[in-house]
A and B are shown apart, each in its own frame.
Chain A
């Protein structure tokens, strides 16, 4: 984790990772997009690669860099974020359910009141 933070602490490297989030890219593409010099980009990519953040494959003459799928221990980090997003989601559902319960209670009370006020009239009114 520390290696990851250190690798990302350099603003240009952070930018490279941001760029690669949209998909694999050849080095030249990264150079053009970020307006950095090629040796600089290559150096940053080497650091990122050593930290296990990006991987490289050679396609014809080009070296293509991409973000590596998160190693196993990092899945926990992703899961924690996923959990937070869905927890926020379910908290909205909590609010909705409270509302639904309140409505149902109201409906039941109305029904009870209605049957309560009907009965004396029907039962009492006819014979007296």
Chain B
């Protein structure tokens, strides 16, 4: 597989998380992969989770709704409303998790150069507290693996 560059994650302000990554494909394809349910189901979600429900009403004011299911049957739902749709370069939507207060606005910008696409995803939260809570909850769902590693490290030190 071609190495297209690792994901960069930064927190430039108290209320934001910015994700940047390069994909080795034209942006129209990347845009499709972000907005078509049959494609989203192939990649979206933490490892071990399947995207069981993926509904996308791709129009301004249209709703999107995802439900992911883990191997143990736990489910995690999220959804929002599309605010701006400008294929293949810009997508803005709200996003919130069923089991968490607080809504964020997610802006995805795709810039294509020589067949490669740079994606910049900006997640803007209502407050720093909400941002931190969402990041942490994401970890708890997806990072059992790294938590196990921490437990191992502690066990070997103790």
Cβ-neighbour of B33 out of A9, A87, A93 (below 8 A): A93
Judge whether A70 and B45 touch: CB under 8 Å: no
The verdict on B29 contacting chain A, using a C-beta distance below 8 Å, is: yes
Known: A85-B47, A85-B138, A88-B47. A96 touches B132 (CB 8 A): no
The verdict on A73 contacting chain B, using a C-beta distance below 8 Å, is: no
Residues of the A chain whose Cβ atoms lie less than 8 Å from the Cβ of B39: 96, 100
Contacting residues of chain A (54-104) with chain B, CB-CB under 8 angstroms: 69-70, 75, 78-98, 100-101, 104
A47 to chain B, nearest CB (A): 14
In the bound assembly, the distance between CA atoms of A87 and B145 in angstroms comes to: 14
A3 to chain B, nearest CB (A): 13
Judge whether A94 and B23 touch: CB under 8 Å: yes
In the bound assembly, the distance between CA atoms of A84 and B6 in angstroms comes to: 9
B98 to chain A, nearest CB (A): 17
With an 8 Å Cβ cutoff, the count of chain A residues facing the other chain is: 34
The verdict on B75 contacting chain A, using a C-beta distance below 8 Å, is: no
In the bound assembly, the distance between CA atoms of A28 and B24 in angstroms comes to: 56
The verdict on A107 contacting chain B, using a C-beta distance below 8 Å, is: no
Cβ-neighbour of B46 out of A8, A11, A89 (below 8 A): A89
With an 8 Å Cβ cutoff, the count of chain B residues facing the other chain is: 43
By secondary structure, the A interface counts as helix
Judge whether B138 and A9 touch: CB under 8 Å: no
Residues of the B chain whose Cβ atoms lie less than 8 Å from the Cβ of A92: 42-43
In the bound assembly, the distance between CA atoms of A21 and B141 in angstroms comes to: 12
Residues of the B chain whose Cβ atoms lie less than 8 Å from the Cβ of A11: 158
In the bound assembly, the distance between CA atoms of A15 and B81 in angstroms comes to: 40
Judge whether B19 and A81 touch: CB under 8 Å: no
Known: A89-B45, A96-B33. A83 touches B9 (CB 8 A): yes
Residues of the B chain whose Cβ atoms lie less than 8 Å from the Cβ of A89: 43-47
Q: Which residue from chain B places its CB closest to the CB of A79 in the assembled complex?
A: B9
Cβ-neighbour of B7 out of A8, A83, A96 (below 8 A): A83
In the bound assembly, the distance between CA atoms of A98 and B68 in angstroms comes to: 24
Judge whether B135 and A97 touch: CB under 8 Å: no
- 8 CB contacts below 8 A, A to B, read A78-B135, A79-B11, A82-B139, A92-B43, A93-B33, A96-B39, A98-B2, A100-B25
